[in-house]
Amino acid sequence: DTGVSQNPRHKITKRGQNVTFRCDPISEHNRLYWYRQTLGQGPEFLTYFQNEAQLEKSRLLSDRFSAERPKGSFSTLEIQRTEQGDSAMYLCASTVSSGGPDTQYFGPGTRLTVL
Amino acid sequence: DAKTTQPTSMDCAEGRAANLPCNHSTISGNEYVYWYRQIHSQGPQYIIHGLKNNETNEMASLIITEDRKSSTLILPHATLRDTAVYYCIVRGWSYGGSQGNLIFGKGTKLSVKP
């Protein structure tokens, strides 16, 4: 257990529905990342926050995806109008930016299945 | 794209050392080598990282060649629980800069056999 928690762990939804995932990072970690992992592939970067500011978004983050970190603590990732291609593991990682090379610690992930 | 090349899969006997190679021939001066592993259906787990010196922690040792173009992760006494996909990642860092995200390749699937 790295101290990063994600909820729910599994989500099954029908195509066209909206889903929201939550990530609780390690306390005092000011950076939070979201990744997506499809079967047989390594995780791919989606977006990251420093405190409450969203500083970078991948081209993978279509306009159906939105992420927030309102108070610089937990974060949510919402997918609107889900498609079957959104089926994947969604991973959250956190780290503290302290002036040296940092280490990202990952949560257990949320597995999304879109029917 | 990932800046590293790893074998697709490797086997190791339980109790023996597992040596996982990684090529990163285009690595630049401020880039670190990170290793993560992912056990089936879990999130990636940090193992170790280094710049140019060899590093050791409670999980593993990292040996980086003098020219920094390749490295080897060593699990000294592999157990069945070390069966996982191991990712070698090159990542830049500089004072005052943003380190940014990790770029994962497909990694090496290590199977530890009894």
* Subunit contact B102:A107, Cβ cutoff 8 A: no
Q: Do A108 and B95 touch (CB under 8 A)?
A: no
Confidence of residue A82 (pLDDT cuts 50, 70, 90): very high
Give the pLDDT of residue B95.
53
Determine the Cα angle at B93 with ends B9 and A32, to 5°: 80
Q: Give whole-number Cα distances, A41 to A58, A104, B9, in Å.
A: 17, 19, 14
Chain B residues within 8 A of A58 when measuring between CB atoms: 101
Query: In sequence order, what E strands does chain B have?
Result: 9-13, 18-23, 31-38, 45-50, 55-56, 61-64, 70-75, 84-92, 108-113
List, in order, residues 6 or more apart from B36 with CB less than 8 Å away: A106, B44, B45, B46, B47, B86, B87, B89, B102, B104
Residue of B nearest to A107 (CA): B43
pLDDT band per the 50, 70, 90 thresholds, residue A38: very high
Is A2 in CB contact (< 8 Å) with chain B? yes
Name the residue facing B49 among A91, A101, A106 (closest C-beta): A101
Smallest Cα distance from A78 to chain B, Å = 20
Cβ-Cβ contacts under 8 Å between A and B: the total is 63
Contact A84, A15 (CB under 8 A): yes
Q: What pLDDT, in 10s, does the model give residues A39-59?
A: 989 999 999 999 999 988 988
Contacts of B95 in chain A (CB under 8 A): 99
* pLDDT at res. B37: 98
Give yes or no for residue B97 having a pLDDT over 90.
no
pLDDT of the residue at A80: 97
Q: Is the pLDDT of residue B1 over 70?
A: no
- Residue-wise pLDDT tens digits, B8-39: 999 999 999 999 999 999 888 888 999 999 99
B88 or B3, higher pLDDT = B88
pLDDT at B29: 84
Q: What angle do CA B61, B100, B62 make, to 5 degrees?
A: 5
A108 and B43: CB-CB below 8 Å? Answer: yes
Residues of chain B that touch chain A, judged by Cβ-Cβ distance less than 8 Å:
2, 32, 34, 36, 41-46, 49, 51, 85, 87, 91, 93, 95, 98-107
Closest residue, chain A, to B98 (C-alpha)? A97
